[in-house]
Amino acid sequence: MVFRLLGLATAAAILAGAGSAPAATLTIGTSAEPSSLDPHYHNLGPNTRARKHVFKSLVGFDAKMRLQPELAESWRAVDDTTWEFKLRRDVKFHDGSPFTAQDVVYTVCRIPNVANSPSSFTVYTKGIAAIEMPDPHTLVIKTAKPYPLLPAELATFGIISAKAAGGEQVTFDKAGCKADSWPTSQAFNDGTLMVGTGPFKHKEYVKGGRQVLERNPDYWGPKPAWDTVVFRPITSDGPRVAALLAGDVDMIETPPVQDMERLKGTPSVTLAQAQSARVIYLALGVQDTPPTITGTDGKNPLKDPRVREALSLAVDRDAIVKRVMQGVAEPANQFLPAGFFGNNPDVKVHTDAAKAKKLLEEAGYPKGFQLTLGTPNDRYINDDKVAQAVAQMFTRIGVQTKVDATTANVFFSKRNKQEYSVFLAGWQADSGEMSSPLKALVATPIKDKGYGTTNYTSWSDPEFDGMLETALATVDDAQREKLLQAAVKRAMDATIIVPLHYEVTVWAMKKGLSYEPRADQYTLAAKVVPAQP
């Protein structure tokens, strides 16, 4: 019985293989699935990856996360608060209608009007105070204050068709645009509004099963090599690797670190890897009463800069990268790797356990204290193992450290309530430049300004805040970079954030394909090319 069944299956598999083998189909196994195809529904990695195939944005990122023209062919700052964008004239939507400035206006108008959005893109549109359209291919965007991040923020969301959604008459209004109705997310999921300007057209979407795209023959940019692209979510690591080895898929995202050796030794597989813009760090809390430190009579030892420096000196980043991350990471000395806008080449970190012990003694903790380190165990690559290694390093200098590793949903809820004195987390700079981590992790939280949104350390340094504020109001790039570098120096000297390593993103694909690895971690089918023979 078993044999008969297997025999039947074999025949079926062979037939299926023979029937569906056109050369130009690319199947990609992804590590996560978008929560919706609506490009403005959820500001989340997998959603943006799906969006980038169908809906282009005004400005784009190249593989190194430098800004490059996309639907806008050029832009310039007319004055401190006025930007002019020249739009491409040769762009058509998937339904054949031309792309114009009205589509951008409609998109910016629609973003605040997505029903049930769990995380909205309004973060990136609220800098816009007014939009003017001198002609259909020119946009003039005004901001309330000097706003150098505007081009980078316009790279975060895709442009939808005003015509397809019936929004040709909608005009921009800072207080809220007027329209009879706004498109629902459902209309994107079922394909009716999947009218974009990207290299691929929507074909089929089965939630949990697959997303099928087909080539857009009228695409204005370089033609992709694939007639059809299939994305299959395979969220478990082992099965995703197995699917690649079995030939079910041609390419996979983020193979697990422990399988790296095996994949390197497999002749039918090639790997591509790139340093990402995500730093894994420890945050040292300076609350008046430390939530997870004992043995100090209720005082918080982390308020003493010497203790913070000692903890940073105790961490051996090279050892973490080599042993825990198996080389698939880079030791970090600040918030973004060299080569990214705002990286300060003069900032260094050191490992020196002897000096760390001496600093603890000077600070009045010769016997150390007890600390619990919080970490997620399923959010970042090997996160809990890294935390264990850090705990051992802390313990070696006399700070007895336990690790509290929980699943991400529990961890983030606890962390956001400041229930950890020290926690491990990661920060991905979506804008690809330094103001993003500085603003979120180090700046003093200000309710409606987007400052300190992930500052769960109670740290507040008015001088640093001032430096950052000046940088964020400086439109000139060279000058802004200098100001950001100075702010990085100040933040690193305070040792509130202890950077550990930069994650390295890996793609594995079958031999014969090549992919330029991207710092923004997105898997873009249009950039996957058959290697030249």
Partner 1 sequence: MIVFILRRLTQSAVVIAAMAVLVFTGIFAIGNPIDVLISPEADEVERAAAIARLGLDQPMHVQFARFVESAVGGDLGTSFVHGVPALGLVLQRFPATLELALAAMLLAVLLGIPLGLWAGLKPDSVAGRVIMTGSILGFSLPTFWVGMMLIMAFAVQLGWLPAGGRGQTASLFGVQWSFLTRDGLAHLILPAINLATFKLSLVIRLARAGTREVALQDYVKFARAKGLSPARVVGVHILKNIMIPVVTVLGLELGSVIAFSVVTESVFAWPGMGKLLIESILQLDRPVVVAYLLLTVLLFVVINLVVDLIYSMLDPRIRLGGGRA
Per CB under 8 A, contacts with partner 1 among 420-439 are: 427, 430, 436
| 98/209 with CB nearer partner 1 | 209
CB 361 within 8 A of CB 353: no
Q: Does 242 bind partner 1 (CB under 8 A)?
A: yes
175 lies in the site for partner 1, by CB under 8 A: no
Pairing of strands 370-376, 400-406: parallel
Q: In sequence order, what E strands does 328-399 have?
A: 329-331, 370-376
Figure out which of the listed residues 40, 42, 202, 278 binds partner 1, where binding follows CB under 8 A: 42
CB of 521 to partner 1, least distance (A): 15
CB nearer partner 1, residue 22 or residue 96: 22
The neighbour count for residue 44, using CB atoms within 10 Å, is: 15
Q: Is 110 near partner 1 (CB under 8 A)?
A: no
> CA-CA distance, 288 to 308, in Å (whole number)?
15
Near partner 1 in 352-381, by CB under 8 A? 378
Give the list of residues 6+ apart from residue 4 with CB closer than 8 angstroms, or none.
Answer: none
Considering only residues 5, 18, 21, 23, which one is a binding residue for partner 1 as defined by CB under 8 A?
Answer: 5
Alpha helices, DSSP H, located in 448-529: 462-472, 477-494
Instruction: For residue 13, state whether it binds partner 1 (rule: CB under 8 A).
Output: yes
- Rounded to a whole number of angstroms, the minimum distance from the CB of residue 431 to partner 1 is 9
Q: Give whole-number Cα distances, 228 to 84, 276, 526, 532, in Å.
A: 37, 28, 11, 20
Q: Are strands 25-30 and 228-233 parallel, antiparallel or unpaired?
A: parallel
Q: Is 414 in the site for partner 1 (CB under 8 A)?
A: yes
* DSSP state string for 162-208: TTTTT-TT----TT----S----HHHHHTSTT---SSSEEEEEEETT
233 binds partner 1, rule: CB under 8 A:
yes
Nearer to partner 1, 117 or 216 (CB): 117
Q: How far apart are CA 227 and CA 524, in angstroms?
A: 14
Using CB under 8 A, pick the residue from 97, 113, 120, 400 that binds partner 1: 120
Could you tell me which stretch among 341-349, 445-453, 458-466, 509-517 binds partner 1 (CB under 8 A)?
445-453
In contact, 307 and 346? CB cutoff 8 Å: no
Determine, following the binding rule CB under 8 A, whether residue 108 of this chain makes contact with partner 1. no
Please, which residue, 36 or 495, has the CB nearer to partner 1?
A: 36
Nearer to partner 1, 97 or 266 (CB): 266
Q: Which of 68, 119, 273, 294 binds partner 1 (CB under 8 A)?
A: 119
- Distance of alpha carbon 66 from alpha carbon 180, whole angstroms: 38
Contact between 6 and partner 1 per CB under 8 A: yes
Which of 397, 440, 468, 524 touches partner 1 (CB under 8 A)? 440
- Is 1 a binding residue for partner 1 by CB under 8 A? The answer is yes
Q: Is 236 in the site for partner 1 (CB under 8 A)?
A: yes
Instruction: Report the chain's terminal Cα–Cα distance, integer Å.
Output: 46
Q: Does 409 bind partner 1 (CB under 8 A)?
A: yes
Q: How far apart are CA 156 and CA 58, in angstroms?
A: 9
Where in 181-200 is the site for partner 1 (CB under 8 A)? 185-186, 189
Q: 55 and 160 in contact (C-beta within 8 Å)?
A: yes
Query: Residue 19 or residue 533: which is nearer to partner 1 going by CB?
Result: 19
> What tokens were used for 320?
């973490």
Tell me: does residue 247 bind partner 1 (CB under 8 A).
yes
What minimum distance in Å lies between the beta carbon of 18 and partner 1? 11
Region of 31-39, 133-141, 195-203, 508-516 interacting with partner 1 (CB under 8 A)? 31-39
Residue 145 engages partner 1 in binding (rule: CB under 8 A): no
Residue 502 Cβ, how far from partner 1 at the closest point, in Å? 17
Tell me the C-alpha distance between 388 and 435, whole Å: 30
Phi/psi of residue 434, nearest 5 degrees: -70, -25
Binding to partner 1 (CB under 8 A) within 252-281 occurs at none
**481 by DSSP, 3-state: which?**
helix
115 contributes a contact to partner 1 by CB under 8 A? yes
Number of residues in contact with partner 1 under rule CB under 8 A? 72
One of 100, 107, 117, 505 touching partner 1 (CB under 8 A): 117
Q: Is 89 in the site for partner 1 (CB under 8 A)?
A: no
* Other CB atoms within 10 Å distance of the CB of residue 75: 20
Distance CA 197, CA 449 (A): 32
Distance CA 452, CA 468 (A): 12
Would you state the structure tokens that stand for residue 98, as one six-digit string?
């031309």
- State whether residue 233 is helix, strand or coil: strand
Show the tokens assigned to 40.
């403005």
Q: With beta carbons less than 8 A apart as the criterion, state whether 56 and 157 touch.
A: no
Residue of 510, 480, 493 lying closest to 146 (CA atoms): 480
> Can you tell me which of 84, 132, 248, 352 binds partner 1, judged by CB under 8 A?
248
Binders of partner 1 in range 388-407 (CB under 8 A)? 407
| Range 122-141, binding partner 1 (CB under 8 A) | 122-123
Does position 454 interact with partner 1 (CB under 8 A)? The reply is yes
If binding is defined by CB under 8 A, does position 531 make contact with partner 1?
no
Given the complex with partner 1, which of 6 and 531 has the nearer CB atom?
6
18, 23, 246, 478: which one binds partner 1 (CB under 8 A): 246
